[in-house]
Amino acid sequence: MNYEGKALTIAGSDSGGGAGIQADLKTFAAFNVYGMSAITSVTAQNTIGVTAIYDITPEIVGRQIEAVLEDIGVNAAKTGMLSNSNIIETVVDKIKKYHLEKLVTDPVMVAKSGSPLLQEEAKTTLIRKLLPLVYIVTPNIFEAEIISGISIRSIKDAEKAATLIYKKGPRNVLVKGGHLFAKKAIDILFDGSEYYYYESEWLDTKNTHGTGCTLSAAITAGLAKGLDVRRAIEIAKDYMNRAIRDAPLNIGKGRGPVYHNVKPISYTARTAFKTST
């Protein structure tokens, strides 16, 4: 049996296995996509919190990316934790050198436990240098507020934020609205001309460690398999919802991981609806 695509994750390592490259590689495998990694940081982490962070040198980050792309190649790639400006600039250089087009960026800034994962000085570098190269960026509400510079309290605010982020260069913006409402989660995709809305049930659970990593990895996997961005998001959202719903209850004492070993659906009716700007 053959893999249906090849995907690279450029992100940090989570020793607890619920987020970062561990979550990404588990997700790629669930989608039958061959997964590869370039580790940017090593974290001492579990379901309770992050106790230590060690950044890999930019040179080694770059060499990992080169090793993968010069031999195996990729159909899509994603970035997760990029802790400092030097690492971001190295990743940007490699993206340009190898002409990575299907790039998903999860602008990881803070862990679920509240621990900062992006240094303050690196935020500007990420926004100014990485975002213009990105195919789709997937900020949560907190991250979207930082990138857009506005407060988000409603769907209209999220739409405005998506538009402002789009103007910074990415081809598509997916603002994840899971923290906006108590009864349903609404994510908003803006492609520069139209808004698309993805609604799903809001699940009351503490097992949400690594959800941002997992969703962006699932989108990356869909793109690696040749899906268009709206279809990739749709299938990724379904996968994410079932991974949360089926999350194990016996992993750790804090915010537990989702269940990555969910089989993605091969077909689904369109669940996004759109409005023109």
| Beta carbons of 38 and 10 less than 8 angstroms apart | yes
pLDDT band at 46 (very low <50, low <70, confident <90, very high): very high
Distance, in Å, from the CA atom of 104 to the CA atom of 173, rounded to the nearest integer, reads 10
Q: Taking each helix axis as running N to C, give the angle between helix 211-224 and helix 20-30, from 0 to 180 degrees, rounded to the nearest 10.
A: 40
Q: Which amino acid is at 39?
A: I
What percent of the chain is modeled with pLDDT above 90?
82
Concerning whether 176 is annotated as a catalytic residue, the answer is yes
List the catalytic residue out of 17, 213, 225, 237: 213
Domains recognised in the chain with CATH numbers: 6-276 (3.40.1190.20)
Concerning whether 275 is annotated as a catalytic residue, the answer is no
DSSP letters, 173-223, are EEEB-TTT-SSEEEEEEE-SSEEEEEEEEPP--S--BTHHHHHHHHHHHHH
Tens-place pLDDT, residues 107-147? 988 766 566 678 888 999 999 999 999 999 999 999 999 99
Question: Residue 276: what pLDDT?
Answer: 43
Tens-place pLDDT, residues 65-82? 999 999 999 999 999 999
Q: Does residue 276 or residue 168 have the better pLDDT?
A: 168
Mark 250-266 as b/e (b = at least 16 C-beta within 10 Å).
ebbeebbbbbbebebee
Concerning whether 208 is annotated as a catalytic residue, the answer is yes
The pTM of the full predicted model, rounded to 2 decimals, is 0.94
List the catalytic residue out of 212, 222, 252, 256: 212
CB count within 10 Å of CB 142 equals 13
List the catalytic residue out of 40, 208, 214, 220: 208
Concerning whether 167 is annotated as a catalytic residue, the answer is no
Distance, in Å, from the CA atom of 124 to the CA atom of 89, rounded to the nearest integer, reads 11
Give Dmax over CA atoms of the chain in angstroms. Answer: 48
Q: Is 154 a residue whose pLDDT tops 50? A: yes
List the catalytic residue out of 40, 43, 105, 211: 211
Q: Is 267 a residue whose pLDDT tops 70? A: no
Q: Give residues with Cβ within 8 angstroms of 16, minimum separation 6.
A: 45, 46, 47, 209, 252, 257
| CA atoms in the 13 A half-sphere facing the CB of 195 | 19
List the catalytic residue out of 210, 222, 252, 256: 210
